[in-house]
Structure 1
Amino acid sequence: MTTLIDSGFALLDLDSDGIAWLRLNRPEAANGMSVEFLQAVHAAIMRCHVETAIRAVVLTGEGKNFCAGGDVRTFAAQGANLPDYIREATAWLQTTASALTQLRPPVIAAVHGFAAGGGGFGLVCAADFVIAAESARFMPAAVNVGMVPDAGSTVTLTQIVGLRKAMQIFVTNPTLTAAEALEVGLLTKVVPDDALLAEAFGLAHAIAAGAPAAIAETKRLVWRGLGSTLDAQLPEEARAQSELARTADAHEGLAAVLERRKPIFTGK
């Protein structure tokens, strides 16, 4: 792998197949999010935006947990300055979650330990695929500290699990096991703990073998559809189809079907 970023709080590597590995790196604080931490993670995601070789991103957390959410100790230390600090941290978290959804390559969150709060739970909701270890736990946590859900999760979770279930999760704040999170549709797959990274990278490599422009446009259309209407989305789909029909990958895909073989996509 080639190291693209090693900023302390965020680590970003890229392999020869176009798989980027983004690691949240504050294990001593369960990857709890401070302003500085969020700035580092956002910078790493923006690097993914400009690296055209990336075809999939695997997002993980170093240490025992994926991400415990906002750094409660840092928040409590702000005293009277807490509102200003929370405003800044929230802005960075929102920008970070939005940057994930707007990445052209799909994002696969590989979750172990806890994914909690606006940081951990919110990033899970902003990922395109979520693979979880059997021992993983999920908790929004916001109301327990007198806050509200953020990272756009009041939209994303509601779309993922439905209004009634989202309201129950946000307000009663259960700790969901991986099996329970899978049952309500929050996750893509649950695997044994020791198979987590292999499963996530296996999915990433399968995605990387696909037609990158078609996958990127599919991702864009699905996320755009959250805030759109059918009438607004139909012309967007038609435009994307017309543009993709000009690509070599589209012609290769059609030829492969006719010739009954596996397509070889080049990203052109």
Structure 2
Amino acid sequence: MKLIESGMVLLDLDDDGVAHLRLNRPEAANGMNVPFLRALYDAVMVATGQRGLRALLLTGEGSHFCAGGDVKTFAAKGEALPDYLREATAWLQNVAQGLLALPVPVITAVHGFAAGGGGLGLVCASDLVVAAESARFMSGAVRVGMAPDAGSSATLPQLVGVRKAMEILLLNPTLTATEAAEIGLITRVVPDDELQRTALDMARTVADGAPRALGATKRLVWSGLGHRVEAQLPEEARTVSELSGTADAREGLAAVLERRRPTFTGT
């Protein structure tokens, strides 16, 4: 059943109860701007309201799962960037909270890059993550003079430990799928041509299970750290907005667009 047939986010629901949520901005590597984030939040809410929902499969169209924020849009905002990012961060946090609170497991399939607060944040807010062998993971926030969001400053340390989270967030290594699996960031690595089949099989396996037991198990696991995630969201939003108004943030965005190394001055 087609629930959202066109636009930047697509959603359908199979007869077996698996909802397929697809990021559909391939021309921008599924980069996130405010309209995209609003559409994504709406799709999560539509999925939440489906009586027959038993699992949600999250994928990205095009060459990448999600390259993070839409850098071109951010750079074009100039001095209005803090206000724009305040709105964008709010929608992204709503999306992350929606996935965490979804009463069924979320299975995410990653190909290409999962980067930034958007890409890595969605990975961290998922229950099970399957990645293609060629997939890559990166934070990237401090690279453009900003801070992590989507709750990842709380979820990432829980997934991989504080020391490894600090390395990922501060040094911005590009992790291979194998490295991501070894540290517990993702669930499984498969050959590229088996990604979609494996992720769908996993979603169908979940959908075959006892819905209330699976939903309760997910809730219990996340609630063990959920209060910490929720408490972190306002501080993340404030920090991202504050940093986006700095000269370093403007320099970081310009450096990405100009494909050069940024020169940060601390202002």
Q: Same fold (TM over 0.5)?
A: yes
Secondary structure at the counterpart of residue 189 of structure 2: strand
Matched, 1:38 2:43: no
Matched, 1:6 2:5: yes
Partner of 2:86: 87
Alignment partners' CA distance in 2, 1:208 and 1:103: 14
The one of the two structures with greater contact order (alpha-carbon pairs below 8 A, sep at least 6) is: 2
Alignment partners' CA distance in 1, 2:202 and 2:81: 41
| Structure 2 counterpart of 1:28, one-letter code | E
Contact residue 7 and residue 40 of structure 1 kept, 8 A = no
Q: Which runs of 4+ in 1 moved over 6 A?
A: none
What residue ranges of structure 2 are gaps of 5+ in the alignment? 229-267
Larger-gyration structure (1/2)? 1
Partner of 1:184: 183
- Give per-residue Cα distances to partners, 1:5-61, cap 9 Å, x unaligned: 134110001111001100000000000000000000000000111102010111000
- Give per-residue Cα distances to partners, 1:66-123, cap 9 Å, x unaligned: 0000000000111111010010000000010110000011000100000000000000
Partner of 1:153: 152
Partner of 1:197: 196
Give percent identity, aligned residues only.
Answer: 64
Superposition pairs of residues 8-23 of structure 1, within 5 angstroms: 8-23=7-22
Superposition pairs of residues 238-249 of structure 1, within 5 angstroms: none
Secondary structure at the counterpart of residue 72 of structure 2: helix
| Structure 2 counterpart of 1:5, one-letter code | I
- Give me the TM-score of the superposition, normalised by structure 2: 0.84
Matched, 1:221 2:232: no
Post-superposition shift, 1:228?
5.9
| Structure 2 counterpart of 1:64, one-letter code | S
| Structure 1 counterpart of 2:202, one-letter code | L
Post-superposition shift, 1:227?
4.1
What residue ranges of structure 1 are gaps of 5+ in the alignment? 230-268
Partner of 1:74: 73
- Give me the TM-score of the superposition, normalised by structure 1: 0.84
Post-superposition shift, 1:186?
0.5
Alignment partners' CA distance in 1, 2:10 and 2:55: 16
Partner of 2:113: 114
**What is the aligned residue count?**
228
Secondary structure at the counterpart of residue 205 of structure 1: helix
Contact residue 78 and residue 85 of structure 1 kept, 8 A = yes
